């Protein structure tokens, strides 16, 4: 189970998160987000983050040119597309050597068949809760809806993930290709500032659960 910590922007806070060794960290380049990285993010520091922690830029309906500029500026490995981007956008970004995570907001009306149009041009999917904002709404969707997912493409699970529902996610991963979890608002002291003690608890919990599963 990979762990992605998203919505970071303060260098001292990022350094504390990096020390926990998440698999992925995410920076939001969407100006309307409460977690917009903006000018606060030091490109010099971000470039020094160890290579084994994958850096993800989160974009909402941004132009391929802007996405590629940010990828180059911060040495990002992944572009997470969190808007209404069409498959062609995913393809054009991926052709430039950038791995693509395409996010989808899930509700009762979501048509899982449309994912077939994207799967060739994305490395991973991300399933989040439909809400007022493109992401970071802090609520989870009905994970039973994922029973309709008939694709082999691995995905991140996002939206309202906290310490109280990790067991459910591990159970879900037994029948579905859950690649990892994307945590954000449930592990904050304020938007964009992560609660390190809560994250430590999460990391320990997942590692203990995985050890138990391996030994079972």
Report the domain count for the chain: 1
The pLDDT of residue 32 is above 90? yes
Residue 74 has pLDDT above 90, yes or no: yes
Distance CA 96, CA 131 (A): 31
**Predicted pLDDT at 95:** 97
The gap from C-alpha 77 to its chain's centroid, in whole angstroms, comes to 13
CATH number at residue 79: 3.20.20.70
The predicted pLDDT at position 97 comes to 97
Question: If you average pLDDT over every residue of the chain, what do you get?
Answer: 93
- What is the per-residue pLDDT for 165? 92
Range of the structural domain that residue 192 is part of: 2-215
Cα–Cα distance measured from residue 206 to residue 190, given in angstroms and rounded to the nearest whole number: 24
- Give pLDDT tens digits for 102-135: 999 999 999 999 999 999 999 999 999 876 565 5
Whether pTM exceeds 0.75: yes
pLDDT at residue 104, as a whole number: 96
In angstroms, the CA 91 to CA 7 distance is 25
Cβ count within 10 A of residue 159: 26
CB 126 within 8 A of CB 106: no
For the stretch 157-215, pLDDT in tens is 999 899 999 999 999 999 999 999 999 999 999 999 999 999 999 999 998 888 888 88
**Span 133-154, pLDDT tens digits:** 655 556 789 999 999 999 999 9
């Amino acid at each position: 189970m990979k762990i992605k910590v998203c919505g970071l922007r303060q260098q001292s806070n990022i350094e504390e998160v990096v020390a926990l060794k998440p698999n992925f960290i995410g920076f939001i380049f969407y100006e309307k987000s409460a977690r917009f990285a903006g000018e606060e993010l030091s490109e010099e520091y971000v470039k020094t983050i160890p290579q084994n922690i994958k850096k993800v830029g989160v974009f909402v309906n941004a132009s391929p040119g802007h996405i590629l500029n940010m990828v180059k500026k911060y040495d990002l490995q992944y572009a997470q597309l969190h808007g209404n981007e069409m498959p062609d956008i995913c393809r054009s970004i991926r052709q430039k050597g950038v791995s693509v995570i395409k996010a989808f907001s899930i509700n009762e009306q979501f048509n899982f068949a449309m994912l077939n149009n994207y799967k060739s041009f994305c490395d991973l999917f991300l399933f989040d809760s439909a809400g007022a904002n493109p992401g970071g709404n802090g609520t989870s969707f009905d994970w039973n809806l994922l029973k309709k997912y008939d694709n082999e493409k691995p995905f991140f699970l996002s939206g309202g993930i906290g310490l109280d529902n990790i067991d459910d996610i591990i159970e879900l991963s037994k029948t579905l290709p859950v690649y990892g979890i994307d945590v954000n608002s449930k592990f904050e002291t304020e938007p964009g500032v992560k609660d390190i003690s809560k994250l430590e608890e999460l990391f320990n919990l997942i590692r203990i659960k995985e050890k138990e599963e391996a030994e079972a």
